Structure 1
Amino acid sequence: MATQNWITLKQDAESGIETIRAHFEGHAYDPHWHDSYLVGLTEQGVQQFHCRHVRHQSTSGGVFLLEPGEIHDGDAPMSEGFTYRTLYLEPHWLERELRALFEQAPEHCELSFAATLARDPRLAECTAQAFSALHSEDLRIVRQTTLDNLLGSLTQHLRWRKRINPDPRLPLVAQRARDYLHSHLHQDIGLDDLAQATGVDRFRLTRAFKAAFGLAPHAYLIQLRLARARRLLALGQTPGDVAASLGFSDQSHLGRWFQRAYRMSPADYRKRCSNLPD
């Protein structure tokens, strides 16, 4: 039996915020991450996903909050599926706006969410209103007002986390491997390259990396490239050029991974964000 999955996506030119409304039945998407802060609202059904090594279920009226880099998947445990709205907040935009909102914001800190799920009617209402204003391309003053209301309602769900590098909670070898992947993401990296860069054998490296980040190094590298691909496509670069610049073997290789993570093709994503023809 065919599912009735669908996605609508818009991008606000002024703030760079993406708005996605979608419906999924059964399996929604594979484990992946975004380089944005996600503030979402479950409209209908039960949205089930794994994040922070915990299985979460967001139900109608519930808000879900994800930080950049947090790996999550998605599926619908109920036959009717689930529908949600999500705002993808660019980290620099969010931090700038919130530092203006807080009278005293700590230095050398980054924003984090206190919890992954929130049952907060005010936050849910502000999320829905901001989504509606941006997704419908309402008047600029309306969009800005609803975003200010959203930021105000978010403050009690935020905390400032001190930037620490390296992070003492994670194995140093895993952090070194992650940094190497970030700085060499365009290259054809092998496990032997990572092992040499971190000073351990491939097997110890893989175990430490999976324990720290929830993905094997090769899967992390793919997700890193996909996150970068989203940004380049939104700027109007063609899928072929993006695939070549990020180390994918060809455009179809990028397309297969992009579809698994985001349930749309790179060309479709580019068109929705940039309004450029294929």
Structure 2
Amino acid sequence: MAARQEITAWRPQVAGVVEVFHAHFTEHAYPMHVHDAWALLIVDDGAVRYELGRHEHAIPHDTVSLLPPQVPHNGAPATPQGFRKRVLYLDLTQLDESFIAAAVDRPDLVDPVLRRRVGQLHQALARPGDELEAESRLALIGERLRGHLQPRLVTGPPRPDHAVARTLRELLDERLLQGVTLDEAAALVHAHPTHLVRAFSSAFGIAPHQYLMARRVDRARRLLLDGRQPAEVATAAGFYDQSHLSRHFKRHVGIAPGQYARGGGEGFRRPHPS
């Protein structure tokens, strides 16, 4: 098999994420090296073997691996087909240095919920305009990672904090067009980012980013029915661009904004006036 490598990397506009790195390698092997950030890694195809802290490890596709900063490690394909991986490099605001020793001892985590959330975060980071979703997912991932590295006694589910939830909802309504980052919201509401996400979701049955997008889609619907064009509506409803509007509009309404404005086409009829 010919050696193959495909690499995509970018720096998203999300605090705490230094870099997103996607790669497909069939033969490439990393030498011993270090990073100044945490590497949160999932493997989609194949498997990776690596050494960390003088111990050998392997990453199958159902595992989340957390490689700590400043600790030497390497990496190579563990199968003839190579591997396809996705990596998030997270700065020390997400996990501080106190967690490094625990991560060296147990870098590989078999946690289906964590793995699903990491995959969802990668998807959100690839979509300009969905930064609040990415920040919310990152906050929950950080909480789950800290739980693995520093387990706490389970005391039952937390009670909803309705005051915090209502204050955040008011803020999201107020910032419908310009949006708000999770850190900004946390500072304004005087609550930890993770607590914000959990309190809102528990109180209203919907995550903050989902609420914001639903409100924007509602606004877009009204503007489209007023006869405005989708490109103009995207900006007027708070979306990043027309593509961002179209993706969320179709998810919520079932058809594209242009179709909606024209009456929806086949299977969608406006009522005749009586």
Instruction: Give the TM-score taking structure 2 as reference length.
Output: 0.50
Q: Which has the higher contact order (CA 8 A, sep 6+)?
A: 1
Instruction: Give the TM-score taking structure 1 as reference length.
Output: 0.49
